[in-house]
Structure 1
Amino acid sequence: MFVKTQLKTIMKKLSFLFSLFILLSAFTCENEPLDSEIDATDSGNLNCEAAAQEVATAALAFISAGEGDYPQLCSAYKTALENLLAACGDPDGSIQSSIDALGDCSDPNGFDDCEALANATNLAEVNFNNATDDNYADYCNAYKLALENQIAECGDDDGNLQAIVDDLGDCNNSSPVSSAEFYITGLFNGESIIMETGTSDNYLTGDGSGFSVLDFEDDNCIIGYHGTLASSLPFNQLPAANINFDYFYNGGCNYTNETSVFNSIFTVGSYDALNDEGNLEQGMHMEYYPTGLEGGWYTSASGDQSNSQFQITNSESANYTLSNGNEVYRQIVTGTFNCVLYDSNGNSIEVTEGTFRVRFSQYFN
């Protein structure tokens, strides 16, 4: 026999999933494949915004389903989700998974509510990762609420979901973000600084490398690399910075040996923030020029870095072939960092919530 209280429990768990479709419709509309002028009253030709509204309406009816009308209202909700998928797309598969979770709508006890809540969390994460400054707080709070709802109803044995909630904090988007091709950003003593390509400030990238030890007699070289962002217009008036990859290459002093490993040595993971470039240990550091490359500068390669760290989150090759047939080896590395910068007078700048995406090239060519 159908137990109405059980159905109400399931519907309570689902209510957050329904609200997500309303809140997150702005993102799905970006993927709309249909003409926005299509008549939204035709259920077979819904545009994305109208499809999201249909889901909201069907969801509200589904919440109040009883034993007698459960199959009918479930089927209506399922159809609305199918229309949403057709009108808006489904880049991460969350809508299809929600459809699948409903089953054939014949048995409310066959509905996997934890799967639906996980789908809601996945959908919220996709939108959070595509958030802009204008909608960051909304998408962040939606993501937090989805995680908290999933934890409350389905548990969190390994604590991974709660860790994400904790990292989201109060959803205050004070951290500088960039969607440019190359960038270095961070909070510099609390001030948001963004150095990025493709802006009116005309930031340019620098492909850099340099040796630490060159011992051609023993054919052993230790080499570091750096990616630079500096402005050319106006020159030496805007901040510039380097992200340095220290002592990542240690091998033969020739093009062949370096290129054989170049694209594979910048692996994803955490790296120490070096505070002494003379010890020849692998790590990373940052150099910062508040008024351009010819002005005063700060470096994290000195002073206390006990709470500093650099993280490589993505590494990809960007090699290209010259007209003469020679290949130039380059790497694009993305990551995060926090560190303390010092100038020659002992003044310091604490950099928190730093992000970077830089490009650099091989030393031997």
Structure 2
Amino acid sequence: MKLSTQILLYTLLLSFLSCEDEPIEGDFLTGGLTCEVALANTSQAALNFLSVNDDNYTQLCTAYRNALQAQIQACGDSDASLQIIVNGLGDCTNNNQEATALEGTWLLTAWLGEEPIDLNNDGTASDNFLDEMDCYENETIVFDIDGTAISMSTSYASFIFDIEVGTTDQFTYTIECEFEDENTNMTWSQSGNTVTLDDGTTVSDFILNGNQLSIFIPEGFFAFSSDFTATTTQDLTFVYTKQ
């Protein structure tokens, strides 16, 4: 982690702690997220990022960056101090870590959303949506030295929500997980820390960071209301970890 990023992170944490007992003026809503909730999410993500290591750098960095961006949307960023931190985090590549060889098996270990969500209705939200469900538990990509790869899918989920009575932005979710056995043949190439996968129809660029591969999926999470009259979406970052 760059020293400048560490300094900015500690500065941000100090600002959270010093303002902990001060009221937040107004109740700004952007996409259902209040400024107060956005601040709390960023504070927790920043604390988590302080304990980052080579094995979880991509996941914790991405979660922290997403929380900062959500805070900017919900609360504003008049002096651009938050955007400076976002820019410093970049694509969440750990330049101090040697990249892992691609050949072998990579397991899907995280769906990182823009905002924490309580998909399993246990009262605790998570920014890694996979922690909230018993689905996508054995999704892998296997890379071969000859430039071919196989993506293996064993399940997929659909998400239904109901708006909690008396609220406009609190949801109760139902997850429907369907099991499958689907393999997709692909070819792969690598340029620096960019890994390109081509299945003949879609070309996807992943970022290699140590022992993790990640890809950004715009509106990768979507859920329908139970009467199918409304939807909610979030951008996702998929993270695969070398096994």
Q: Normalising by the residue count of structure 2, what TM-score does the alignment of the two structures yield?
A: 0.33
Q: Normalising by the residue count of structure 1, what TM-score does the alignment of the two structures yield?
A: 0.23
Task: Kindly name which structure, 1 or 2, has the bigger radius of gyration based on alpha carbons.
Answer: 1
Q: Which has the higher contact order (CA 8 A, sep 6+)?
A: 2
Higher helix share: 1
